[in-house]
A and B are shown apart, each in its own frame.
Chain A
Amino acid sequence: NAGVTQTPKFQVLKTGQSMTLQCAQDMNHEYMSWYRQDPGMGLRLIHYSVGAGITDQGEVPNGYNVSRSTTEDFPLRLLSAAPSQTSVYFCASSYSSLTGELFFGEGSRLTVL
């Protein structure tokens, strides 16, 4: 009963390093998205995808890349980490773009020094 699985759960990076946050879902959802959660800012959409091969930017896409080669996987890449990217990241998926509730992963806490 996996649902949405994110890895790693914790990561510490130095400024300028790159890394990929992995996200996988086993519910055959077409819609997947990445959010970041910061104190006082709530949750903000970084990137989203409506199906394999289709991705687009959300509210705060700068500094992040995504790809969607399969329905199941939606990795988030930080090419050159900055302290402003210190945050908790959530991957989410849903079965419908408008009507469906989002199912969230457990979150990944990233610290950039």
Chain B
Amino acid sequence: AQKVTQAQTEISVVEKEDVTLDCVYETRDTTYYLFWYKQPPSGELVFLIRRNSFDEQNEISGRYSWNFQKSTSSFNFTITASQVVDSAVYFCALRSPSGGSNYKLTFGKGTLLTVNP
């Protein structure tokens, strides 16, 4: 079985603050893929990043950065200098062979980030 836990249900910050969204996953597989998606108020799901289990190198894309640590089964997402447009629900997700359904994408419950001006 596989599981994704996003312990933070809601986070509220003031613009320009840094914020980290936590994601902890469970899988018995050695090969798996982790993802982050953004769901803005308009409702669509936007792909942000994919990381495979053999690549623990942190990634930075503009104000976004991701920290993948296999030792703690975590894949955290940091937004630097947050902006109002970052307000959204963010989902962490996992794809692994033991997840069944031909590698279904298992989502966490999501974290609602509100960035106040």
Instruction: List A residues at the B interface (Cβ < 8 Å).
Output: 31, 33, 40-43, 45, 48, 50, 56-59, 88, 90, 92, 97-99, 101-104, 106-107
Contacts and interface: CB of A to CB of B under 8 A. Distances in A.
Interface residues of B, number: 23
8 contacts: A40-B109, A42-B91, A43-B107, A57-B101, A99-B95, A102-B35, A106-B44, A107-B44
B33 interface: yes
B68 to A, nearest CB: 16
Nearest to A31: B102
A94 to B, nearest CB: 9
A97 B102 contact: yes
B43 A43 contact: no
Contacts, number: 59
B103 to A, nearest CB: 4
B104 A42 contact: no
Interface stretch (B18-26, B45-53, B76-84): B45-53
Contacts of B110: 42
